Amino acid sequence: MQQSLDSTSQTQTAITDSRQNQRPGGFLEPLMSDFRIICERDPAARSWLEVIFCYPGFHTLSLHRLAHCLHIRKVGFIPRLISHLGRFLTGIEIEPGAEIGKGVFIDHGMGVVIGETAIVGDYALIYQGVTLGGTGKESGKRHPTLGNNVVVGVGAKVLGNIQISEHVRIGVGSIVLRDIPPDSTVVGIPGRIISHKQSKPLSPLEHGKLLDVEAGIIRSLVSRIEKLEQQLQTLKNQHQDEDS
């Protein structure tokens, strides 16, 4: 019950922040945060010119913030056209209704899809091939909500109206279908929580150092099979000795 209340509170906070970003004078502030976070996190960003002209994640977020601003003012057609233009230019599709916090970094970004009712919190890090999608044709809130400082690894899929709480790390290729509590690490298909609150947290860019749960399970199974084969061979030898 407490976790559900916390999730609802975080969702409301994300919505409030997004609406505040659309107030007069509040349009440029999140763009500046997007620009600064790229310079801070990406070692390949050598100059401000590169960030402005050569980063598709920054381009699509700039277009999306304009489209979303028009969308919440009930302007028809144009927001969707801007979204489509952003997809054509960058390979990143963000529906005009999606609410994106400040300081969000979409790294490379090709193939990223963010659905209409998705909410992305501040300072989230999203890699290429990520989908924040729905699971059906229901109306209303049908896409995920990401809290602040969430990292979504390459090719991960987060589906449905679920809450990904703050400081969650989603591993490469994972498929997440249920709520995730704060400070968790999730990997696998379907996504499973493998750790909470690391004593020495990794850098947001070090998502490649997450534990490989499947490999650990396979090693355990191989070890078990080897022991069973040894036991079987021992029984065979004993049986042959008795026959002789």
H helix and E strand count, the chain? 6, 15
Q: Domain 2-210: give its CATH code.
A: 2.160.10.10
CB 79 within 8 A of CB 68: yes
Q: Which among 143, 130, 110 is positioned nearest to 171, based on CA atoms?
A: 130
CB 138 within 8 A of CB 160: no
For residue 126, CA distances in Å to 74, 163, 207 come to 28, 16, 11
Q: How far apart are CA 111 and CA 126, in angstroms?
A: 11
Asked if residue 230 has pLDDT above 80, the reply is yes
Q: What is the pLDDT of residues 203-218, one digit of tens each?
A: 555 555 555 566 667 8
Q: Which amino acid, one-letter code, is at 104?
A: V
The pLDDT of residue 208 is 57
Q: How far apart are CA 172 and CA 190, in angstroms?
A: 12
Asked if residue 8 has pLDDT above 60, the reply is no
More confident site: 201 or 170:
170
The pLDDT of residue 161 is 94
More confident site: 137 or 26:
137
Q: How confident is the model over 40-64, as a mean pLDDT?
A: 89
The pLDDT of residue 244 is 66
Q: What is the pLDDT of residues 102-144, one digit of tens each?
A: 999 999 889 999 999 999 999 999 999 999 998 877 778 999 9
**pTM for the full model?**
0.74
Task: Tell me the domain boundaries of the chain.
Answer: 2-210, 212-244
Asked if residue 2 has pLDDT above 50, the reply is no
